[in-house]
């Protein structure tokens, strides 16, 4: 096992198996986690989700600024139901949060990994749009919990997808004084637009 607290050099040849962590809430910065360690963080999130609907998964330092990623009980249930929870595809997708969310370049040009806006007016309507906008428009009971947890209203939220080659995690971006916060609520495996 790699000692993540002392690893300083990153080899680019195995980039799919690592991602950079902003902080571990102690004294280290720029640690590297491999997919097994992301899996461990998800297991820790499972335990925390027994007591709360929204838990902090990880903090990232990105080119676009600091980003906190939160996991919800809804994401957990949907991913378990779809048999993607802790899958390699999910772990690789979570790794891509390191790209951050740049509001000025928030629309995907296709084929890129990262965090991208889901636009209500895109045509044709795809499964990601249906899932995230049904979640927001119904609204799902979690919408009120997110609003209360982050002291924010749905009008200020940006629907997004966290993208990897095999999976998209759906959620919302909140821009706060602390930086950007990504709250993940669902997933999508459809390869369509």
3, part of any domain: no
Mention every residue, 6+ apart, whose C-beta is less than 8 A from residue 127.
Answer: 188, 190, 192
Residue 133 has pLDDT above 70, yes or no: yes
Most confident of 15-19, 68-72, 115-119, 173-177: 68-72
Q: Per the domain annotation, does 193 fall within a domain?
A: no
The predicted structure's pLDDT at residue 108: 60
Residue, of 100 and 111, whose pLDDT is higher: 100
The answer to the question of residue 90 being in a domain is yes
Residue 121, in any domain of the structure:
yes
Is residue 61 classed exposed, middle or buried when 0-12, 13-18 and 19+ CB atoms within 10 A define those classes?
A: middle
Average pLDDT over the chain reads: 80
The pLDDT score that the predictor gives to residue 16 is 44
Range of the domain at 52: 12-188
- The predicted structure's pLDDT at residue 33: 55
Which of residues 189 and 11 earns the better pLDDT score?
189
User: What is the C-alpha separation between 99 and 109, in angstroms, rounded?
Assistant: 15
Q: Is 4 a member of any domain?
A: no
CA angle (80 as vertex; 77, 85 as ends), nearest 5: 115
pLDDT at 27 over 60: no
pLDDT at 75: 97
Q: 43: Cβ–Cβ under 8 A, 6 or more apart, which residues?
A: 86
Q: Give strand pairing partners of 34.
A: 18
Residue 1 lies in a domain: no
3-state secondary structure of 187: strand
Cβ–Cβ under 8 Å, residues 188 and 168: yes
Q: How far apart are CA 69 and CA 112, in angstroms?
A: 19
The answer to the question of residue 7 being in a domain is no
Q: Residue 78: inside a domain, yes or no?
A: yes
Q: What pLDDT, on the 0 to 100 scale, is given for residue 106?
A: 62
Give the CA-trace dihedral at 31, 37, 42, 43, to 10 degrees: -130
Nearest partner of 84 among 166, 19, 184, judged by Cα? 166
**Domain count of the fold of the chain:** 1
């Amino acid at each position: 096992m790699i000692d993540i607290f002392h690893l300083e050099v990153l080899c680019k040849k195995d980039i799919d198996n690592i991602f950079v962590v902003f902080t571990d809430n102690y004294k280290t910065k720029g640690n590297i986690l491999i997919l097994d360690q992301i899996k461990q963080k998800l297991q820790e999130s499972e335990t925390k989700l027994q007591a709360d609907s929204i838990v902090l998964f990880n903090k990232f330092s990105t080119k676009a600024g600091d980003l906190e990623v939160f996991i919800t009980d809804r994401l957990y249930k949907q991913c378990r139901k779809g048999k993607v929870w802790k899958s390699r595809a999910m772990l690789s997708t979570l790794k891509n949060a390191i790209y951050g969310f740049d509001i000025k370049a928030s629309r995907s040009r296709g084929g890129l990994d990262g965090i991208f806006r889901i636009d209500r007016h895109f045509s044709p309507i795809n499964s990601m749009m249906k899932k995230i906008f049904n979640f927001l428009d119904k609204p799902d009971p979690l919408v009120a919990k997110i609003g209360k947890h982050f002291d924010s209203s749905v009008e200020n939220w940006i629907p997004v997808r966290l993208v990897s080659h095999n999976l998209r995690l759906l959620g919302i971006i909140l821009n706060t004084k602390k930086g950007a916060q990504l709250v993940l609520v669902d997933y999508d495996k459809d390869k369509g637009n």
